[in-house]
Chains A and B, each alone.
Chain A
Amino acid sequence: MNAHSKIDFPAAVSLRGVVRQFGDNRVIDRLDLDIAPGEFVALLGASGSGKTTLLRSLAGLDPIEGGELLAPRARAAVFQEPRLMPWKRAWKNVTLGLRVANPRERAVQALTEVGLAHRLEAYPATLSGGESQRVALARSLVREPKLLLLDEPFAALDALTRIRMHRLIIDLWQRHTPAVLLVTHDVDEAILLADRIIVLQHGRIADALQVDLARPRDNGQAGFNAIRTRLLALLGVEKDDPESIGRDHNPFLAQGYPLNAIAI
């Protein structure tokens, strides 16, 4: 083990030369990344660019093979599926693994914050997709994380629910001020939510971009489209070429050509 994976860094995230590989396949390749306390960072990238792998390492789910990874111990993750225990009522799911004196009180508080005070006793099977994901959010927030990891948490939701969730997540972030790392496929979502957008390609940062738009944001805002166009170009999608959004089917990418070779 030549990797140093230290935990309990006081403020936020710091990665230096992080390597993660499966056999000969380097998914994260000497990655450097810092996230300031309370900063909202979105991680964009095509499938297989290493976004989720990076998030899993930050969540402590996977080890790293090289470099240094510093992340706060108080961290929580929300995944694409809510991953609630079907046999536990909503509030019990929220307090699972929580070691405090008044778990029920804390659960009520967290579920009220996500607008589910009326579903405390509900079993996950009776919750809608959006509600389940809000329970998962409450379950993360109740742990008062310094780092909140979101792995495409809105991808499986319908468009209307997603808009509501965007508002909710910004609201919760502003109230609790954790550092947030959001992994997403959705360029608009990244621009709507993040302070900074990082584009990942082949396990390295291809570009990073500060989003200085005033909040609350919407996609009709001045400057929104400029950022969008730039990101899409980085991701290998031309503005007048909606077909290539399905990047998994792009023949060039399938052969392992770097994205810049096509788009830039």
Chain B
Amino acid sequence: MLRQVFLRRHNSSPMLRKVYSAAGLVLVFGAGLAAQSTPLIYNRSITNAGSYMPAGLPNGAVAQGSIFTVFGNRLGPSTGVSANAFPLGTTLGGTSINVVQGNTTVAAIPVYVANGQINAIMPSNAPLGNASLQVVTASGKGNLSPVRIVSSAFGIFSALGSGQGPGILQNFISQTNQPINSPTIVAQPGQTITLWGTGLGPVSFPDNMAPQAGNLPVKTEVFVGGISASVLYSGRTPCCSGTDQIVFNVPQNAPQGCWVPVYVRTGGTTISNFVTMAIGPNANSCSTDVLPQFTSGYINGKRIGKALAVRTTTREDVGMIAPVDVTSEYHVSFAFEPNPGPFPFNAAISFPPQGTCTAYTLNGDLLNETGATLLPDVAPTTIPLDWGGPLQLTGPSGSKTLTITFNLARVGFLDGMISNGILAGTLFLNSGSYTMQGFGGMDIGPFTTNFSIPQPVVWTQQDTTDVVTRAQPLTLSWTGGDSGQVIAIVFFAIDLPTNSSEVSVCLAPAGASSITIPADLLSNMPATRNNPLQSKDVIYLIAMSGGSIQPINATGLDVGITEFDSIIGKTVVLQ
């Protein structure tokens, strides 16, 4: 598994396969435009092989001695070649890689080369700072592409090969039995875990030889659900050059759930990507504290569905002449039969436990308005189930047919308004009792479900949350809502010029009225640009109403629920 993970990222991610397929189509379309035959490293495509952390983020550098990934074209043979014996060479399959900084050039050590992708080891003696990478093949030298080299920047390998979701973490049961943790292979508090990744830092022995075991000098910390774990070992694994193991014990007080966030901090400041692990009392199954029936259905491949109503109100006051409040109301319905596989994960379903935080990063603009930019593994690979025609929503303001206003998508706009007299409107999703009605389709039968929308949650410091200092934790508080509600903070930080995004997601403890976002999550967000219009930094407080979560009892649906979400947003400046 591990070998597959770090050698072939794309094959394990349907989302990324789509990207590759799309690129293939474009290649045909645009053939003849670029006539060069030398290797081409794609822009912004050099990353840690475990995290794929975008280079535009503070921790998006490549560590000395780590395995990094390069995407491009004409980088190697059409059929991939892997290095399989020590000593590793500086040429593999006719491909070599130069790391250039001024008059200094060192050779990286390829471990996998193919036409579109290279995985290689950044030499432990590579120059620190800004450098360039160049691929050389029989057809010549390719372009020089920027790379930032640091002493330590750790990336955790993930089971889905996307740098997020279930990590490659082995539950230690015995020397001969160490299965990879998953929602069906669950760790218990106190259990010893072996975490796999790359980027702890340089070594004193040759990078191209079988590594020597031993702790590396960099300070290494592991956090499980935000709780510091005791680290037993942090260094190279003897099997594989450039590959690190961190052995730790699951804290006794670690949160439990199917997707408990795990990250590594090196040197006291640099955090890795966030992966997940399952923790609970039962070794064969896990449970979540948010929508447990729904997530259980997802994990077990049941037919699941949701009918949602959402109101979003965002205060926009960064880069504006005058602040405005923008309110919009939507409805969404979806149902599908997931094919979760051995490592089920979907960032939109696989919530961290309440009281914990996680983060996702992406080379892209997650708030892009003009095209779909999604986290990996969010778009299910299985087909949707048919609800039939539009649903009907009846409440205090009357009855509305939930018209689908996006072709091919069961999403619709209900109402909206903008303050300052810019856009007048009436809102529909006010507090009160509602009835959601479906009329049945090919897969899902008719249903009628009653639910309620409470008085709105109030974000108490919304007006004064203007500047966020990344080096300090950020505490947000609120009042109102209803019993059983789930509060989530979703904090987007997007740097447009480098096309880099981080989104931090924190779920408040049940019944809490405040939550603190740790500085570790904020530290990897890009600072707001001098021209604030080149950044998109916004905090959303999401209240999933407890009274709105009601079962949809319909034939053809194993688990169905209604849901109302109140979302309060605020633009901020990150310093």
Is the A/B pair a real complex?
A: no
